[in-house]
């Protein structure tokens, strides 16, 4: 597993690199702005690029723009956005453009090396990962009606875990259910969201998007 | 109030639109001494003119061989005196213009013709008649062509006048007089010619014929240049000119007929019809005098009409204010009326808005000065200046209305300043909020994340040395750091949501609905980006309203709708029906209402009959 890290804060950039290497993930390069990141990605072809959402020069959405650019020009490279913002809007912007091999985690996850390494692994496999805090907030939010109304409590929990990027097996472990039961739940979620006819791989992403949009 | 011509007194911010004809625009510079001098001069001229007329009647006409009729006497006096009187009044009305003196001069010159009279007993009077009798026609033409400014601007007009003066004064008067000896040439009873040089009857006749022939030419030329002047004049000037130029042309054509009929005999006025022709000339001169005086009547009419309108306007100001009244009165739709206010001075319209450049380049600027201070500035069509009385009269009559309107404009301008200052204060506050949010996110929060990372980096090392207390301390520190990061995020989000600046109102409100204490339904939001102050005001309104609706009214949910009309954002927040009053809600929203007010918008909280609270706000997006 090879990654590159782009963050303009030296402490975070180098600290993350240390932790990842300690966890057995090769750090192929680091960059302190989007331009250098694109160069390194072009030469190193990492599995995943870990990108701070805000970078010089304007500190607004350079990270997101760079991520979209990488997904377009290097489809084999997954992107993981590290952000200080809880708003699902930023994650949606990323996923709507390129609903594969994308992740959106809160910045403080960098010190939670297990979560970080897990997310990187799943992104490298082409999945989408949304920060559990954001997912939890979306689950908790007050709502009146929406596409998720038909879902049972169980199914909603399953959808939330899908949104966090977990596989059916991981979900069965978390929820202490048999893989068969989980599969049945997941199938019902897809059909209630009207995603029966799409291939399984995309269904998961589309279900996440439906979840984010709700 | 003094209306002065366009001058350097106009403030420096005011673009100077050079008035093409400004000299006619009189100013009463010099005050009362000059006015008194003009009055004195005019009265003296009147007295001299009246006396000269009577003298002419008594001696010249009375002494004529042919005698005189009462009708002729009345006609002679009417024509001369009318011009003299009208000239006097004109001189007093417009002291800076020579026109009045020119008209009076023409009136006196009219009498000269009667002194060309063999029946006079005095050789001085007889000689005066010989050298001046033909001057009336050029003098009348001069007064007409110089009307109303007193100056003959066109070179062609000036050339025609010079030829006319020379033709009349030399070829018809002085030159033949030098060689005319009345005793030897048909007039034994005539008084002596005091300017006689040599008696040359043939030469006298030759010069006179040439002069009469030349007279035919310059009379036609004068009528032609007069017609040309009328044709080239602007609409207001033409209105002013024709009552004067037309009778003058009539008079000149009769004078030309006189020359033509005199040509066979070689002596001016020596034919049977001369008497009637003279009556006709007198009639035309009376008409010319009436033509000059008609403009005074029109000035007065204009003035009283404006005074009436201004009085109406003072009672119930028309939508366009005095500007529309003046534009209508002066027939200039593009007219601008502005008032200099503030320090440093700037020009504002009646509504307090700064005035821009008037449409079209050909505008004249007339500052209206009172007590040495410019109270208003009129930008109007340059050709209005052609009628010197018009702008002056109208502006003077509008004085009272202007004073009122200027005061109102000043207050409105101050109000506009205040509103702009309010908007600036809000904008500065927002910029500061945004800067704080960035500092918290990019500074403090990043550093906390960095420290958390560092703790994580040193933790495994402490694992190597089995000191459980140190590990638990590090873990505790890490937990607290995460709490601090979360709190910092909430704080920053409350100060200014980054998503509002990055992604716009719709994204920010959607996020707000996610975290609100009561369910918030979004019925519609404009997807496009709006000006930052508008987005911010709308966001804080929705944020605070949904919070207060939950806390103060006990409603179980709310619906938010925002629509972007062409020039404003309309936000409607409806709470679920509950019993209660809207007053506490309105009070709680004072801060947001102020923010919206600073942008020129409005906020209204109501309690509908169905029991639902509605908050409606409209924010201009200009």
- The secondary structure of residue B386, as a DSSP letter, is G
* B438 has pLDDT over 90: no
The whole-number pLDDT of residue B3 equals 44
The whole-number pLDDT of residue B4 equals 43
Please state the domain count of chain A.
2
Same domain, A12 and A81: yes
Banded pLDDT at B162 (limits 50, 70, 90)? very high
CB proximity B464 to A under 8 Å: no
Same domain, A128 and A189: no
Does the distance separating the beta carbons of A89 and B503 come in below 8 Å? Answer: yes
Same domain, A15 and A94: yes
This prediction has a pTM of: 0.58
The whole-number pLDDT of residue B303 equals 65
Same domain, A102 and A157: no
Distance CA B439, CA B412 (A): 40
Q: Which of B446, B461, B497, B543 to mutate to test the interface with A (most CBs of A within 10 A)?
A: B446
Other Cβ atoms less than 10 A from the Cβ of A10: the count is: 11
Tens of pLDDT, residue by residue over A114-129, are 889 989 998 998 888 8
Same domain, A108 and A152: no
Q: How far is B498 from chain A, CA to nearest CA, in Å?
A: 8
Tens of pLDDT, residue by residue over B106-161, are 999 999 888 877 777 788 888 888 888 899 999 999 999 998 878 888 899 999 99
The tokens for B600 are 């020129």
* B609 has pLDDT over 80: no
Partnered with residue B2 across adjacent β-strands are B369
Same domain, A56 and A122: yes
Does the distance separating the beta carbons of B460 and A12 come in below 8 Å? Answer: no
Chain B residues closer than 8 Å to A110 by CB:
449, 452-453
The whole-number pLDDT of residue B250 equals 95
Tens of pLDDT, residue by residue over B485-538, are 989 988 998 899 988 988 889 889 988 887 788 888 888 899 889 998 899 999
Partnered with residue B607 across adjacent β-strands are B613
Given 3.30.565.10, 3.60.21.70, 3.10.20.30, 3.40.50.1010, which CATH number is that of B504-620? Answer: 3.30.565.10
For B39, B47, B84, the CA distances from B44, given in Å and listed in that order, are: 8, 5, 11
What is the secondary structure of B101-138 as a DSSP string?
Answer: HHHHHHHHHHHHGGG--TT-S-HHHHHHHHHHGGGHHH
Q: Which domain holds residue A58?
A: 2-135
Q: Under 8 Å CB-to-CB from B393, ≥6 apart: which residues?
A: B299, B302, B303, B306
Chain B residues closer than 8 Å to A86 by CB:
489, 493
Rg (CA), chain B: 44
Higher-pLDDT residue of B408, B327: B408
3-class DSSP state for residue B520? strand
The whole-number pLDDT of residue B319 equals 60
Closest CA to B57 of B110, B96, B102, B7: B110
Closest CA to A130 of A67, A203, A60, A205: A205
Same domain, A6 and A110: yes
Banded pLDDT at A141 (limits 50, 70, 90)? low
CATH of the domain at A206: 1.10.10.10
The whole-number pLDDT of residue B309 equals 67
Does the distance separating the beta carbons of A12 and B519 come in below 8 Å? Answer: no
CB proximity B491 to A under 8 Å: no
Phi, psi of B274, deg, nearest 5 = -55, -40
Same domain, A24 and A125: yes
Q: List, in sequence order, the alpha helices (H) in A109-178.
A: 113-124, 132-140, 153-163, 168-175
Does the distance separating the beta carbons of A141 and B460 come in below 8 Å? Answer: no
Are residues B98 and B88 in contact, defined by beta-carbon separation less than 8 angstroms?
Answer: no
Q: How far is B316 from chain A, CA to nearest CA, in Å?
A: 55
Same domain, A103 and A75: yes
Q: How far is B486 from chain A, CA to nearest CA, in Å?
A: 9
**Residue extents of the structural domains in chain B:** 2-9+12-301, 424-495, 504-620
Measured in whole angstroms, the distance separating CA B555 from the mean position of its chain's CA atoms is 59
Same domain, A56 and A149: no
Long-range CB pairs of B84-90 (<8 Å, 24+ gap) are: B84/B45, B84/B46, B84/B49, B84/B50, B84/B53, B84/B108, B85/B46, B85/B289, B86/B289, B86/B292, B86/B293, B87/B45, B87/B143, B88/B42, B88/B43, B88/B45, B88/B46, B89/B42, B89/B293, B89/B296, B90/B292
Closest CA to B501 of A196, A89, A197, A204: A89
Banded pLDDT at B5 (limits 50, 70, 90)? very low
CB proximity B547 to A under 8 Å: no
The whole-number pLDDT of residue A48 equals 95
The whole-number pLDDT of residue B361 equals 56
ipTM of model over 0.85: no
Of B449, B455, B508, nearest to A12 by CB-CB distance is B449
- The secondary structure of residue B354, as a DSSP letter, is B
CATH of the domain at A69: 3.40.50.2300
Q: Under 8 Å CB-to-CB from A68, ≥6 apart: which residues?
A: A94, A97, A98
Are residues B396 and B93 in contact, defined by beta-carbon separation less than 8 angstroms?
Answer: no
Higher-pLDDT residue of B46, B580: B46
Same domain, A121 and A168: no
The tokens for B26 are 């009189």
Select from A103, A119, A135 the last residue of a domain: A135
Select from A89, A110, A135 the last residue of a domain: A135
Partnered with residue A104 across adjacent β-strands are A81, A130
Q: Under 8 Å CB-to-CB from B349, ≥6 apart: which residues?
A: B323, B336, B337, B338, B339, B355, B409
Same domain, A21 and A83: yes
Partnered with residue A102 across adjacent β-strands are A79, A128
For B31, B39, B40, the CA distances from B34, given in Å and listed in that order, are: 6, 9, 10
Select from A96, A111, A135 the last residue of a domain: A135
Distance CA B556, CA A147 (A): 21
Chain A residues closer than 8 Å to B456 by CB:
15, 19, 111-113
Of A54, A87, A143, nearest to B499 by CB-CB distance is A87
């Amino acid at each position: 597993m090879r990654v590159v890290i782009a963050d303009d804060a030296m402490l975070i950039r180098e600290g993350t690199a240390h932790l990842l290497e300690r966890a057995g993930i090769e750090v192929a390069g680091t960059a302190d702005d989007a331009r250098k990141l694109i160069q390194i990605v072009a030469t190193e072809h990492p599995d995943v690029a870990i990108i701070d959402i805000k970078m010089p020069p304007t500190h607004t959405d350079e990270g997101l723009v760079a991520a979209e650019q990488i997904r377009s020009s290097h489809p084999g490279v997954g992107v993981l956005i590290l952000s200080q913002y809880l708003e699902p809007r930023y994650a949606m912007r990323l996923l709507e453009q390129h609903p594969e091999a994308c992740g959106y985690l809160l910045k403080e996850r960098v010190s939670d090396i297990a979560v970080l390494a897990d997310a990187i692994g799943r992104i490298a496999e082409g999945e989408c990962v949304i920060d559990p805090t954001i997912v939890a907030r979306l689950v908790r939010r007050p709502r009146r009606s929406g596409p998720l109304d038909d879902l049972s409590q169980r199914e909603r929990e399953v959808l939330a875990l899908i949104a966090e990027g977990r596989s059916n097996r991981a979900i069965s472990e978390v929820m202490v259910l048999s893989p068969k039961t989980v599969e049945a739940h997941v199938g019902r979620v897809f059909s209630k969201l009207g995603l029966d006819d799409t291939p399984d791989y995309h269904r998961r992403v589309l279900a996440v998007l439906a979840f984010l949009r709700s | 109030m003094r209306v002065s011509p366009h001058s350097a007194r106009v403030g420096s911010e005011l673009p100077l639109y050079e008035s093409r004809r400004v000299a006619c625009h009189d100013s009463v510079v010099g005050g009362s001494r000059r006015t008194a001098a003009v009055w004195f001069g005019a009265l003296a001229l009147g007295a001299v003119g009246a006396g000269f007329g009577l003298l002419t009647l008594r001696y010249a006409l009375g002494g004529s061989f042919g005698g005189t009729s009462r009708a002729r006497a009345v006609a002679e006096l009417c024509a001369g005196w009318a011009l003299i009187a009208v000239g006097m009044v004109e001189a007093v009305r417009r002291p800076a213009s020579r026109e009045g003196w020119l008209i009076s001069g023409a009136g006196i010159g009219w009498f000269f013709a009667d002194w060309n009279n063999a029946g006079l007993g005095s050789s001085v009077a007889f000689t005066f008649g010989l050298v001046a009798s033909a001057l009336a026609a050029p003098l009348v033409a001069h007064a007409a062509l110089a009307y109303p400014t007193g100056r003959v601007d066109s070179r062609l007009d000036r050339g025609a006048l010079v030829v006319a003066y020379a033709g009349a004064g030399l070829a018809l008067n002085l030159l033949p007089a030098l060689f005319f000896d009345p005793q030897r040439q048909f007039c034994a009873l005539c008084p002596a010619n005091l300017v006689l040089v040599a008696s040359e009857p043939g030469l006298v006749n030759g010069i006179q014929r040439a002069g009469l022939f030349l007279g035919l030419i310059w009379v036609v030329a004068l009528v032609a240049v007069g017609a040309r002047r009328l044709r080239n004049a602007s609409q207001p000037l033409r209105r002013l000119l024709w009552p004067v130029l037309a009778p003058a042309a009539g008079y000149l054509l009769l004078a030309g007929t006189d020359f033509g009929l005199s040509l066979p005999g070689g002596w001016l006025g020596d034919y049977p019809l001369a008497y009637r022709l003279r009556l006709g000339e007198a009639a035309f001169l009376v008409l010319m005098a009436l033509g000059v005086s008609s403009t005074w009547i029109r000035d007065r009419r204009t003035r009283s009409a404006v005074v009436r309108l201004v009085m109406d306007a003072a009672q119930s100001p028309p939508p366009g204010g005095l500007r529309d009244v003046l534009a209508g009165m002066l027939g200039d739709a593009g007219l601008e009326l502005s008032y200099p206010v503030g320090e440093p001075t700037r020009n504002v319209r009646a509504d307090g808005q700064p005035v821009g450049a008037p449409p079209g380049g050909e505008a004249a600027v007339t500052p209206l000065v009172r007590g040495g201070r410019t109270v208003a500035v009129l930008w109007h069509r340059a050709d209005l200046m052609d009628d010197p009385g018009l702008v002056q009269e109208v502006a003077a009559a509008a004085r009272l209305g202007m004073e009122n309107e200027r005061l109102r404009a000043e207050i409105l301008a101050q109000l506009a300043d205040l509103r702009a200052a309010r908007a600036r204060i809000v904008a500065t506050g927002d910029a500061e909020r945004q800067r704080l949010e960035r500092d918290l996110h990019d500074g403090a929060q990043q550093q906390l994340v960095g420290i958390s990372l560092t703790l994580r980096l040193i933790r495994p090392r402490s694992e190597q040395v089995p000191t459980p207390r140190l590990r638990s301390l590090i873990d505790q520190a890490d937990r607290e750091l995460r709490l601090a990061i979360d709190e910092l995020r909430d704080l920053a989000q409350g100060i200014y949501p980054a998503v509002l600046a990055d992604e716009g109102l719709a994204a920010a409100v959607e996020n707000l609905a996610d975290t609100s204490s009561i369910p918030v339904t979004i019925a519609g939001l404009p997807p496009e980006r709006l000006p930052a102050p508008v987005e911010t005001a709308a966001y804080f309104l929705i944020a605070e309203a949904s919070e207060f609706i939950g806390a103060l009214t006990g409603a179980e949910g709310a619906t938010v709708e925002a629509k972007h009309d062409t020039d404003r954002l309309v936000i409607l927040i409806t709470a679920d029906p509950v019993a209660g009053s809207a007053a506490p809600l309105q009070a709680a929203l004072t801060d947001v209402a102020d923010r919206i007010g600073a942008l020129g918008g409005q906020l209204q909280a109501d309690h509908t009959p169905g029991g639902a609270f509605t908050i409606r706000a409209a924010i201009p997006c200009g």
